[in-house]
Amino acid sequence: MRPQDRGGTIDSQTRTREGTLGVAVVGQGWWGRAIVRVLDASHSMRVVTTVDVDPIAEEFARERGVGFTTDYGAALGDEAVEAVILCTPHSLHTDQIARAARAGKHVFCEKPLALTRREAVASVEICNASGVVIGVGHEHRFKPPTLELARMVRSGELGTIMQSEATFTMDNLANLDADNWRRSGAEAPCGPLTATGVHALDLCVSVHGVAESVIASLRSVDGGAVDGALGIMLTFRSGAGALITSLIGPPFSVRFAVFGTQGWVEIRDRTHPESPEGWIVTKCVRGGRMESVESAPASPVLAGLEAFAAAARGRAPYPIAQEEMIATISALEAIIKSAANGQIEQVEG
């Protein structure tokens, strides 16, 4: 029995939509289930099956009318599965990516791609050697105002970029059970870094390029079991700098700002990307007045997945460069070291 034939009847017309990319969503925790729901609106991807080590996840698959299996290998052996979306614990990514690439499946991996530069390089290399696309779940890059900001940076409208600032906070992780893998120092080192801080880090890399050095401070302000306050200062080879604050505890807040010699732009999210309600964009250019505008809601999660599907189909290059994927993990690894020893750490590569 193929995994997509378990856990409920799948409409054959949906399964065989011409040109759609058949995917297996691996890991059916909070975010894996969110991905399945988001893909309901996709015109280029369809969920063939879901995968989870816990058999209880089959109930969700049945409700969604998709297949289910506890066997990742079975999903990789399914001809209808052309790509995998990994929403699994971070330490599993490198092996799961390698297995998928060897099976000829495209790979979309939720952030972080890896916990070390060596693992990130290995994943990129095996996907390239296998001729499959590798994508990463950095949905904040695909918000309409972030795409416009990237255009402004490239065009020189903001002048020479000097600094970026990012603040990411979430309160849902503070309420997780103590045995949840997202609260594990081994699976999710450096407090909120792999949950929210890595999104901020990726945005900074997208603007500034390769980081040169970092210093980080990690602390618990309430004596809790999880260190919830992370502050990071980075310097980049371009000469620019970045300040990142990542917190577990306060209600959801995302702010990203870029400062150049000719102007600055700040983007604030109204809600989590899972259920976007738009953004507030404030900017000021030299000689002008500060102004704020509303940016209409759109799904950056779906946009990122659609970009991956387009690359897998050969219709467009994947918009996050592999060099940037590796640069983000290189900086992440240095941040983990710096938070542990309190010293400035050089970023490898």
Q: What mean pLDDT comes out for the span 22-51?
A: 97
Output the CA torsion 102→23→303→269 (10° steps): -100
Share above pLDDT 70 across residues of the chain, in percent, rounded to a whole number: 89
Are 57 and 149 within one domain? no
Are 129 and 167 within one domain? no
Are 290 and 196 within one domain? yes
* pLDDT at position 184: 67
Q: pTM score, two decimals?
A: 0.91
Are 85 and 199 within one domain? no
Are 99 and 172 within one domain? no
Look at 5-9, 151-155, 211-215 and tell me which has the smallest mean pLDDT: 5-9
Are 162 and 129 within one domain? no
Q: What mean pLDDT comes out for the span 188-203?
A: 94
Q: Summarize the chain as % helix, strand, coil (round to 5).
A: 40, 25, 35
- Residue 293 CA to residue 282 CA, distance in Å, equals 6
Cβ-contact 265, 257 below 8 angstroms: yes
Expressed as residue numbers, the domain containing 127 is 3-137
Cβ-contact 274, 37 below 8 angstroms: no
Are 121 and 157 within one domain? no
Are 199 and 127 within one domain? no
Q: What is the CATH number of the domain that holds 76?
A: 3.40.50.720
* pLDDT at position 349: 87
Q: What mean pLDDT comes out for the span 42-65?
A: 97
Residue that terminates a domain, selected from 94, 109, 137: 137
pLDDT digits (tens, 9 = 90+) for 84-106: 999 999 999 999 999 999 999 99
Eight-class DSSP state of 249: S
Mean pLDDT score across all residues of the chain? 92
* pLDDT at position 173: 66
Token pair for 50 = 């879901």
- Residue 308 CA to residue 316 CA, distance in Å, equals 9
Token pair for 225 = 């079991």
Name the nearest CA neighbour of 145 among 280, 262, 290. Answer: 280
Whether residue 5 has pLDDT greater than 60: no
Are 144 and 129 within one domain? no
Are 152 and 8 within one domain? no
Residue that terminates a domain, selected from 137, 169, 199: 137
Q: What is the CATH number of the domain that holds 334?
A: 3.30.360.10
* pLDDT at position 337: 98
Residue that terminates a domain, selected from 137, 171, 189: 137
pLDDT digits (tens, 9 = 90+) for 120-154: 999 999 999 999 999 999 999 999 999 999 999 99
Are 160 and 128 within one domain? no
Whether residue 11 has pLDDT greater than 70: no
Are 96 and 212 within one domain? no
- Residue 101 CA to residue 93 CA, distance in Å, equals 12
pLDDT digits (tens, 9 = 90+) for 250-294: 899 999 999 999 999 999 999 999 999 999 999 999 999 999 999
Whether residue 6 has pLDDT greater than 60: no
Q: How many domains does the chain have?
A: 2
